[in-house]
Amino acid sequence: MCGIIGYVGNKDVTSVLMAGLWKLEYRGYDSAGIAVISDGELVVKKSCGRLMKLQELLDKEPVSGNVGIGHTRWATHGEPSDQNAHPQVDCKGKIAVVHNGIIENYYSLKEKLIKEKHIFKSNTDTEVIAHLVEKYMKGNLFEAVRKAVQELEGSYAIAVISEDEPDRIVAVRKGSPLVIGLGKDENLLASDIPAMLGHTRKMVILSDGDMAVLTREKVEIFNEKGERIEREITTIPWDLEELDRGEYPHFMLKEIHEQPEVIRKNIKLKLKNGKIDFGEAFNFEPRDFVNVGRIIIQACGTSWHAGYVGKYLLEELARVHTEVDISSEFRYRNPVVSGETLVIAISQSGETADTLAGLREAKAKFLRVLSVVNVVGSTIARESDGVIYIHAGPEIGVASTKAYTAQLFSLYLFSLYLARIKWTLDEEEVRRRLDEVKKIPELMERILEREEEIKKIAKRFYRAKNFMFLGRGINYPSALEGALKLKEISYIHATGYPAGEMKHGPIALIDKKTPVVAIAPASSVYEKMLNNIEEVKARGGRVIAIATEGDRKIKRLADYVFYIPEVPEELSPMLVALPLQLLAYHIAVLNGRDVDKPRNLAKSVTVE
């Protein structure tokens, strides 16, 4: 997704903008640019390709000033090119706009503006905004922007600067995230928090419809009618070094290794004197769940896989009927629901467009929504009736790792919390399980210490063109997640399948060139998994098994075995995830992939 940064203050704006864009790079992009008010003139520098190309352009043609906006573009309308890169400008080159989102009615607006003699230079949707502001610019940039956005349909976060009002940035948020950073004699804005953490931790997370005017001295926020409003200031708990790779070659590897600490932090925050405490953002009481007869979990990608594990946990432990929907399906299927239906939205970023739309669909049906989210104050968190924060810290790698296991941890606790309310587990049984779950960080560390074993397996199979991941029961979603991790960072085709389904078709894919990862820890379906491994071997397939320490039987069957420590079945997905993440990571590295910024992907998909 596109990244936006804006600065007004007394520092050299070009350095601030470029540093911010580097921090936003992980969001995925194909071109980048900045616009600066330099000696009273608007100067735009932009280029297709990676940020390094923009940096080289700025080294050749430096530009200085104290007010400016920057952008990394993830193309939606108009191919990646210098001309289509943002900022986009008006006819006279006096107004510059950066935009994240999609203007759905841009074509009709563009036709109308061309009839009014506006000259367009790009084939982006964004450029219409610059010309609309120009059209309404009558000496007041805020009013011009306010009138311009009233003609827009779609989702957008925009920032605008103009030569005519060189001391300010005007910003609008509708459907795509935008955060204000409050500094001393300086103020910033960005698509999300990491870009500004080097300057301030005091942030204002704009709501849909909000407009903001930033000058060096102050930030004023207005609603769509142009009336002044106040917004809460959030102090971000993250430290700058969390945004740094440290000694790791990639953020993804760092975040894989952070998982034990993340779970320890969650244990500390959520388990107090043997009681489960989701914090004040939870905003629910036990009585709110007494009549919950059905749960619908809706999410995307890895978060959907976490929700799928959540289904097994909620049904097994709390005996509550639970469905899991992919958000882009949920939002359009007009689900049959009743007042006793609870919707759970799971999202690391808290900004995923489809999951946000699913939440709004649930609210439109007067359903209560509990969200499981990482980013504090994100849109999904703010629009939910209650939030369980997963406290995973900033997750920079596009492939979700530590957020996934943190989601699983929170879903496990919520299942136990609900089991107490539903009386499906007694106090003693819940306490025993809480003692079990406290061992997870140490068990994770025992796995991560053996990364070299996974690296060896990766070396053996990184040239494969197809992979299959098989799992059963609560580890069927683990198979889906292992396949997604591999395909999204290595670009190798991988399919995750319920192992019992193999003979209904996928077994035709088995040959010695298609490695099969069989997730077979000690469990109620272990013997069934052995049979599936036999089926694969009987057809010449090669098997990489994830099994429980001490399991000698599987060693006789599988070509490679990676052992995980013994753990109760319902906790096994939290451990199984680690070797699958490491396998995907090392295969991608061996294939020379851009692990943290895989092609075509963005960290947070804020457009439909």
Q: What is the 3-state secondary structure (H, E, C) of 160-202?
A: EEECCCCCCEEEEEEECCCEEEECCCCEEEECCHHHCCCCCCE
Catalytic residue list contains 300? no
What's the closest the beta carbon of residue 42 comes to ligand AGP, in angstroms? 35
Helix axes 402-421, 572-590, angle to 10 degrees: 170
Given the complex with ligand AGP, which of 348 and 478 has the nearer CB atom? Answer: 348
Catalytic residue among 110, 487, 597, 603: 603
From 2, 23, 46, 174, the catalytic residue: 2
- Do the beta carbons of residue 374 and residue 268 sit within 8 Å? no
- What minimum distance in Å lies between the beta carbon of 580 and ligand AGP? 12
Nearer to ligand AGP, 100 or 355 (CB): 355
Instruction: Tell whether the torsion through CA atoms of 253, 255, 256 and 258 is positive or negative.
Output: positive
Q: Are 382 and 207 in contact (CB under 8 A)?
A: yes
Distance of alpha carbon 267 from alpha carbon 279, whole angstroms: 12
Residue 103 or 399: which CB sits closer to ligand AGP? 399
Residue 531, Cα to own-chain centre: how many angstroms?
A: 37
Those residues whose C-beta lies under 8 Å from the C-beta of residue 160, and which sit 6 or more positions away, are 69, 95, 96, 97, 129, 130, 133, 141, 145, 169, 170, 171
Nearer to ligand AGP, 255 or 551 (CB): 255
CB closer to ligand AGP, 403 vs 443: 403
Residue nearest to ligand AGP (CB): 301
Footprint on this chain of ligand AGP (rule: CB under 6 A)? 300-303, 347-349, 352, 355, 398-400, 488, 604-605
Q: Residue 398 Cβ, how far from ligand AGP at the closest point, in Å?
A: 5
Angle at the Cα of 433 from the Cα atoms of 474 and 499, rounded to 5 degrees: 10
The nearest distance, CB 136 to ligand AGP, in angstroms, is: 35
State whether residue 596 is helix, strand or coil: coil
* Other beta carbons within 10 Å of 249: 12
- Closest CB to ligand AGP among 400 and 523? 400
Q: For residues 575 and 546, is the Cβ–Cβ distance under 8 A?
A: no
Give the Cα separation of 421 and 110 in Å (integer).
57
By C-beta, is 87 or 301 nearer to ligand AGP?
A: 301
Q: Which residue, 334 or 600, is less far from ligand AGP as judged by CB?
A: 600
Smallest CA-to-CA distance from 202 within 219, 227, 215, 224 is with 219
Between the alpha carbon of residue 23 and those of residues 5, 16, 17, 113, 315, the distances in Å are 10, 11, 10, 36, 41
Q: Which residues contact 217 (CB under 8 A, 6 or more apart)?
A: 185
91 is catalytic: no
Nearest one of 373, 305, 360 to 330, comparing CA atoms: 360
Q: What are phi and psi of 338, to 5 degrees?
A: -135, 175
Residue by residue, DSSP assigns 198-263 as TT-SEEEEPPTT-EEEE-SS-EEEE-TTS-EE----EE----GGGGS-TT-SSHHHHHHHTHHHHH
Q: Which two tokens stand for residue 484?
A: 């997604």
Residue closer to ligand AGP, measured from CB, 177 or 521:
177
CB of 217 to ligand AGP, least distance (A): 35
Q: With the CA atoms of 187, 191, 192 and 193 taken in that order, what torsion angle do they form, in degrees rounded to the nearest 10?
A: -20
Catalytic positions, written as ranges: 2, 603
